[in-house]
Amino acid sequence: PSTRALAAELGLGRNTIVAAYDQLVTEGYLANRQGARPVIVDLPEGPRESPREEPPLPLRSPSLRGRLLLSQPYHHGRPGHVAFHPGMPDAGSFPFGVWGRLVARRASHGGETLFGTYDVTGHPALKAAIAGYLYSARGVRCRPEQIVVTTGAQAAFDLLARLLLDPDDTVWMEEPGYYGAKAAFTVAGARILPIAVDQERGWRLDAPVFSPRLIYVTPACQHPLGITMRMEERLRLLDIAETANSWVIEDDFDGEYRFQGRPVPAIQSMDRSGRVIYVGTFAKLLFPALRLGFMVLPPELAGRIVNALSTTGQFAPLLLQAALADFITEGHMSRHLKRMRRIYAQRRQLFRDIVTERLRDEITLSPAEAGIQVVGYLRDGIDDIKVSQAAAKRAINVSPLSKYFQNTAPTQGLVLGYAACDAAQTREGVERLAAAIGEVLG
């Protein structure tokens, strides 16, 4: 009908009908004709709605890379669980009052450096602060230009895997080893070859059968065993990397928390050929929700990383970067770490005492003296996956040691985080863990 006729029929103003017709023309349902009324467009039949009882057709399958990515296990803690989440720091001891004031100050006076253009490699003040901190705390020698701020260590592993690896390249990884890094390299199409690591013999760096394109290690506090790489092993590793022309990723996992002697200097400080990439995170030093980490790149790689960062979009929030720079340079971080080392040393000893007293027949604790988690080796006949499942039913989050193995027969044990638990939580957690082990043993 004409706009006048339809307006009269519906009791509406003509302008309303004209606007409705114009919208239908814009959406392609009506077509205007010169000097005549609009006509309905003959559209093709839309997709047939399937009856409810028919199962939906499967979506197109992802790419091979996508299938690899989707197949990686998701490891996470369970909210509300009492203990013993591996690698979990005590966020309750963090000075959030100080942190909040620093964030508010930067938000009020950030200017163009925070809310305008930015450097994709990170806030200059934070990179300078990290460079100074790493030199004094870990012996890392670098210029701020070699530092890239990331959204955590896992983001660094993902970017480095895409940047450095081709399909079928060989990656040497510790066995047992960190599954997050292993997942990043697997999705990149790499072949993972194990470097055997154990409590007594350390890293067995045998002559390579396949020259590695990349070697991944956690030398300061081996993940998950907690042992520290000896000097001769570090020199051997660098010699292998030099001979094979390999990159080395040094994941400084829990490098700040060593309870006998001083923290060991990083392998990066011994590198003379520019092949060690040092990766760190602030999540365990400060609080887990602070998704800020960093890479220290060799100069050759640092000068070419900008394009990769621009393409992948792995930018950490500048406001948090600026606040963290202030937190470091004003001395808050060094005071916080000093306090936490004292707290964690006390909690570690209490945890060991309680577990040894209550579970001496079921668990033997590792003697390793680094990190905010401890490996407990289960006696023969106790399945660590079944124990972790039974513990989860009791609101206890423990990680089975066997899941850190990929290529060799796994050792049965539990990776137990003690740092976030006070004395009462530790005692309660150990009692619940004992009940879980009792359930598995029947």
| pLDDT reported for residue 81 | 63
Q: Report the DSSP beta bridge partners of residue 296.
A: 147, 278
Mean of per-residue pLDDT scores for the chain: 89
Is the separation of the CB atoms in 183 and 190 below 8 Å? no
Q: Are 388 and 399 in contact (CB under 8 A)?
A: yes
- Print burial letters for 115-134: b (CB count within 10 Å at least 16), e (below 16): eeeeebbbbbbbbbbbbebb
pLDDT tens figures, 37-91: 788 888 887 666 655 666 665 666 788 778 878 877 766 666 666 689 998 999 9
Q: Which amino acid belongs to residue 216?
A: Y
- Select the more confidently predicted residue: 206 or 127: 127
Distance CA 160, CA 184 (A): 9
Cα-based distances in Å from 341 to 88, 134, 257, 328, 430: 14, 17, 7, 17, 22
CA–CA distance, 335 with 171 (Å, rounded to integer) = 38
3-class state of residue 125 by DSSP: helix
CA distances from 363 to 82, 109, 150, 376, 422 (A): 20, 54, 38, 6, 21
In our burial notation (b when 16+ CB lie closer than 10 A, e otherwise), range 158-171 reads bbbbebbbeeebbb
Q: How many other CB atoms sit within 10 Å of the CB of residue 412?
A: 18
Over residues 378-406, mean pLDDT: 94
* pLDDT for the residue numbered 441: 93
Q: Which of 51-65, 233-247, 269-283, 343-357 has the lowest mean pLDDT?
A: 51-65
Whether the predicted pLDDT of 25 surpasses 90: no
Tell me the per-residue pLDDT of 156-203, one tens digit each, with 9 for 90 and over. 999 999 999 999 999 999 999 999 999 999 999 999 999 999 988 899
What pLDDT, on a 0 to 100 scale, did the predictor assign at position 65?
78
Looking at residues 276-285, what average pLDDT do you find? Answer: 95
Identify the H or E element spanning 23: helix 14-26
**pLDDT value for 112:** 59
CA quadruple 104, 107, 113, 114: dihedral, nearest 10: 110
Q: Which helix (DSSP H) or strand (DSSP E) does residue 105 occupy?
A: helix 96-108
Confidence of residue 101 (pLDDT cuts 50, 70, 90): very high
> What pLDDT score does 203 carry?
94
Return the minimum-mean-pLDDT range out of 192-201, 208-217, 327-336.
208-217
The amino acid at 54 = E
420-438 average pLDDT score:
96
Strand duo 373-378 + 413-417: pairing: antiparallel
From first CA to last CA, the distance across the chain in angstroms is 81
Q: For residue 385, what pLDDT is reported?
A: 96
Domains and CATH numbers, the chain: 3-40 (no CATH), 67-74+110-331 (3.40.640.10), 334-441 (3.90.1150.10)
Q: What angle do CA 382, 385, 389 make, to 5 degrees?
A: 110
Report phi then psi at 44, rounded to 5. -65, 155
pLDDT of residue 273: 92
Neighbours of 105 (CB within 10 A): 13
